[in-house]
Structure 1
Amino acid sequence: MKTLGRSALRRLSGTVALGAALWGASCTAPAIGERTPNAVVTPPVSAAPTTKLSPAHQPAPLSYDEALARGREIVDVWKKDAEPSGSKVTAWAAGAGIGEGEIVRVLVGLTRPCLNAATEDVPECKKLFDSGTESEDKAIVEVLAPLLGELGDPSPHGSETFTILGRLDARGLWRGEQAIGRLLERRKTGGGTCAPPTAEEIANARASLDDFAVIVSKPRKNGGPKAEDAVEARAPTAAELDDLAYFRAAVGASGAEVGTAKEDSASKPLVEGDPVATERARLYEAVKAARNSGDFEAHLRAGKAYLEAFGYPAPMRLAEERDRRWGGLGVSFVMRDVAMSAEILGRFDLAEDIYRRAAYRGGFCGTSWASYRDYQIRGLIRTAEVRRGCRAAVAERLFSVGRDRDHRFDTAELASKGFDVARLYRGAMLTAGRDMDSEALRKVLAASPLGGRAVARLEREGSEDWARRVRAVGGFVSTAGAAGVDSVLAFADKSVPAVRAEAIGALGYLLEDRGTDVCGRMGWGVYHGSQEREVKTIMNKCDTRLGAARMDEIAKKVASHADDTSPAVREAVAKALGNMGRSSSRPVLNKLARDTFENGGTTCINYGTPQEKCEPTRQVRFAARTALERLQQTETERKTPPQR
């Protein structure tokens, strides 16, 4: 299923904006195709493709028909040569005689009618960018834009490539946005310095942790279930202090968490006709016009003026924003666009600040906020690392954004530079449970052996809930793999209920077994995570999967939490056992399928049919029933003869 990019989501969001500023452009964008494209930049070649194209047309603007013919020729060769992508594009393009300038000319020729229109809501744009349309020129554009991301000149201050991609992005081409992102990623390569913490840094961090307390659940009474509110704090062990010190030394240069800036909470919504709102509408017109024209300098100036009208760089009066959309406030969309223009122009300090500052929530309910959050984290990593090296973005790399199949924004860079990634996550896990209500955390810390010292640290350092910020539990499970299972089980047993549920759920993803004989036939690839941290199963490959006895042992330990007083933990147990697919878990799942906890509300199956059946919402029961169905499917698959 195709994932919509930020551009497409922005267009969907804009259709439901409330009280939006005027969207008409205040000036006419310059006609596309009147300038001679930049000279072709041919990067070093390491290999050549199997096919050679004929020489490019003369460097004059291409008509639509000429662009369509040349684009068709390029795409045909691209397909014939196995559709190279990523790092393979450079060598392929050089060998085929294709360069940056030519692709720009083709894109300009194909999209000129759309780009010269006053608005993107015209047939010339919709046929290229709407998800429900199919055309040959659209298919060509969707191939050529990503190629520019690999071939284009990524140097600051913009270029013809940035201009055409920026204009396409402004009109809703999500591949244009992706190509810009790739150009900016390539610029980052080699920037800054990157090295793990030194012994001295670790020692200094350790010395600063003598008042830090670990949040844990109280031991079970008489072997019974853990009480949901039975939480206490204790001093870390010497080994735990070592891991925590390593983590704190590594993230010491990290800035504030993305999207958590404290803005002006005293501001009030503006009323209709307020002069301030009228002036902002005028400023917004200038922002939109500059962005549509691909003039990044003008867009940055107009965008800063618009943000300053909300109070930036001081705390922003976000409550005054009347434009609320799926995916956040209208001003947050402007902030992300301004950050990208600042990054394109080499204003990395400003770009990093705005990427970090923009709120990715605050609009209508929905799930698109995770996409905007990840977009900002990617931008922050690029800009922070090019300025200050990887230490500036260790926390963001540990977070590990979703859908990063090429590992450009996860922990791969840290591991390649010598960081012990599993240890980083292990240290962060010691801060788990500190994301509770601040007053509740204060009471727990006050009652701990560290008492007033722990409370004083809370007032000085804040909650220090790094485990949530870097998604440490899922990160450790994914990084440590089979070697970390026992320590995760022990961690879950001592953790507060929410963290215990998270740990059990992550293990269920790691150990998902569909019953397929992966040693005799092809396995499957599974990543879990969208709003949560992605965890890839180890059971889909012969050389990483665990044996039946080991799996039964782990399933038994997971099942020991089936009597937990927390419904979230019981639900996590049901899901994990269903994923693990062990027949020995059936009695526990049958028990959980009769769980009486009600979440509130009603759940119906076969809705609108004669077979419709409704009952109170019981999430634990539903999870267990689903797990039993999965278990049955796994057992059936397990009996299927292998195909060797």
Structure 2
Amino acid sequence: MTRTANALIEKLGQQGGAEVLPLLRQLDARGSFEAAYAREALKTRLMTQALATRPCAPPSNEDVTGELARLGDFAALRVEGGKLVAVRPTPKELGDLAYFLVAVRDAGPPVGETQEPGSDWRKPAQSNASLDAAYAELKSARLQGDLRGMDAAARRYLVLLGYPAPLKASEENTYGWHASRYTLVMREWAEVQEELGAFGEAAALYRRVSPGDGACGTGWDIALQEQILGVIRATEQHAGCRGVVAERLLDVDDMSRLSNALSPYGPERLREAGFDLPRLYRGALVTRHRDMPPEELQRVLSAAPEPLRTDALRRLQERGPEAWEKQVLALEGFADVGQRDALEPLFVLAVSSMGETQHRAVAALSDLVERPQRDPCAKNELLVGDGFESDGKRFIHKLGAQCATALKPRERDALATRLLPLLKSKDGQTREATVKALGRLGSPLAIPRLRQLDKDPYSEGFYLSDDQTRQIPIYRVREAAAEALKRLP
């Protein structure tokens, strides 16, 4: 009976319309995981059906030319002499940046980054009968599959905390391991608004709600992914693709990747509409390093020569940091979309960046070039190493997954030779990322140098001794080198 019921629920997700959402909501509230999956499948299908009727056009030459004329005050950050300096981008970089900025002109705020003042799981407020009653009303409506009732109860709950203004989060009296109750209410309200067809408000709620503000730090990445997918669905049906170009570039749909299918949430929608995907990522890459703390960014721009100094500081004041590279994970996206064409530019980025940007560039390069465990050019070989990964990183298709793109041994050796100098970096995290990259690359030329790292001083974190009385430092480069050597032939 259970198997039959689950099959019927799955069928509702595959073939039902919006009219079955209340039933699926009701089943979901009673613990049916199949109903939750069916709701998501149904909402995805409704979005894909609506895409053909919603506008989606790439930046026009006229718009790009107009944006380019406004980029005379933009300063790129580059590494010179071991430090970041502000410089004018090259004409090619400016053209790519203009194309990107036109494409994301209608972007909303980054998903999940709004901070509600006063939220602190360590300091819950005293019991609040009005909040408790509103939440009880929400639970009751949920069990009945009453979307209108859920809408009213969730709105009432959040209005009590000050919505639509910044919430008086210090008045929240209930926190769970993963989230405050108001966060859970806001996320559920976003879903209900979407299911009722109020796509504009749904998108705003999905963007605003925190992916996790509870005592436990786990689970936020799953919640964030679900919110990004919700933003894409709601925005596409409300206003078209231009408002979610940034979110589509993130390509966060792990479920589609499990089935080896093109994601309806990824950048393929943009490619089909005529967008130049490599150029979008290249444009965002011009803004790398601008995700640094605001005071550091201002300091770097203040050291630029005039008139760039005055122009760049004024632009910063008017537009904020414009840290688009980090916001769309352009390093990883460029590697995934560019494939072999991305190899050389990505290597240059890996050796000419610093800090977290450099760590991510090296990691993206290592993901791209990872040596498969089986020969992709041999017949009847089952490849391992390019399947689904659930490590929180932006997925990158590996060159070694196909015979046509796999690196030859001499190419692996050449790349390893070029990466080895990064092992001399003063930054321990750069050395760690490089060691991991050499292990994944699979060139035996790295073996002698990796064996010399058994005394590397970089440590971060600690293990507890067996008797729980001593902290034992974790020497991350040493451990990464030992693991890399196991992978090398």
Instruction: Tell me the TM-score normalized by structure 2.
Output: 0.92
Note if contact 1:191-1:387 (Cα within 8 Å) is conserved in structure 2.
no
Within 5 Å, give how 1:539-554 maps onto structure 2. Answer: 539-554=400-415
The answer to whether the aligner puts 1:536 opposite 2:397 as a matched pair is yes
| Deviation (angstroms), 1:200 | 1.1
Q: What amino acid maps onto 2:174 in structure 1?
A: D
State the distance in 2 between where 1:530 and 1:267 align: 28
Within 5 Å, give how 1:22-421 maps onto structure 2. Answer: 68=1, 137=2, 139-154=3-18, 159=19, 161-188=20-47, 189=49, 190-219=52-81, 227=82, 230-265=83-118, 271-273=125-127, 277-403=128-254, 404-405=256-257, 406=261, 407-421=263-277
Q: What amino acid maps onto 2:221 in structure 1?
A: A
Give 1:437's aligned residue.
293
Secondary structure class of the residue paired with 2:86 = strand
The answer to whether the aligner puts 1:472 opposite 2:333 as a matched pair is no
Note if contact 1:197-1:246 (Cα within 8 Å) is conserved in structure 2.
yes
Deviations 1:507-542 (A, max 9, x none): 111111134222212222334453221112121221
Note if contact 1:518-1:541 (Cα within 8 Å) is conserved in structure 2.
yes
Structure 1 stretch 524-533 or stretch 447-456: which is displaced more? 524-533
Give 2:342's aligned residue.
484
| Deviation (angstroms), 1:235 | 1.1
Deviations 1:96-131 (A, max 9, x none): xxxxxxxxxxxxxxxxxxxxxxxxxxxxxxxxxxxx
Note if contact 2:115-2:210 (Cα within 8 Å) is conserved in structure 1.
no
Deviations 1:153-200 (A, max 9, x none): 13xxxx2x2122101222333332221122122222224111110011
Q: What amino acid maps onto 1:452 in structure 2?
A: T
Q: What amino acid maps onto 1:263 in structure 2?
A: E
State the distance in 1 between where 2:120 and 2:364 align: 41
State the distance in 2 between where 1:534 and 1:603 align: 33
Within the candidate set 478, 483, 488, 1:626 is matched to 483
What is the number of equivalent residue pairs in this alignment? 475
Secondary structure class of the residue paired with 2:10 = helix
Give 2:382's aligned residue.
522
Secondary structure class of the residue paired with 1:258 = coil
Structure 2 unaligned spans of 5+: none
Secondary structure class of the residue paired with 1:371 = helix
Distance 1:143 1:432, change over 3 A: farther
State the distance in 1 between where 2:177 and 2:392 align: 16
Q: What amino acid maps onto 1:285 in structure 2?
A: A
Q: What amino acid maps onto 2:341 in structure 1?
A: A
Deviations 1:448-495 (A, max 9, x none): 232122111111111111111111111111110111110011122222
Structure 1 unaligned spans of 5+: 1-67, 69-136, 220-226, 636-644
Distance 1:555 1:517, change over 3 A: same
State the distance in 1 between where 2:77 and 2:266 align: 27
Secondary structure class of the residue paired with 1:233 = strand
| Deviation (angstroms), 1:212 | 1.1
Distance 1:176 1:486, change over 3 A: same
Q: What amino acid maps onto 1:239 in structure 2?
A: K
The answer to whether the aligner puts 1:423 opposite 2:279 as a matched pair is yes
Deviations 1:289-347 (A, max 9, x none): 11111010111011111111111111112233232223322211111111111111111
State the distance in 2 between where 1:357 and 1:304 align: 15
Note if contact 2:462-2:473 (Cα within 8 Å) is conserved in structure 1.
yes
State the distance in 2 between where 1:423 and 1:321 align: 45
Which protein shows a greater Rg? 1
State the distance in 2 between where 1:614 and 1:329 align: 33
State the distance in 2 between where 1:141 and 1:499 align: 49
| Deviation (angstroms), 1:356 | 0.8
Give 1:578's aligned residue.
439
State the distance in 1 between where 2:270 and 2:177 align: 34
Q: What amino acid maps onto 2:40 in structure 1?
A: G
More helix by share: 2
Note if contact 1:149-1:182 (Cα within 8 Å) is conserved in structure 2.
yes
| Deviation (angstroms), 1:265 | 4.6
**Identity across matched positions, percent:** 33
Secondary structure class of the residue paired with 1:300 = helix
Deviations 1:196-248 (A, max 9, x none): 100111112212221111122224xxxxxxx4xx2222111100001111110
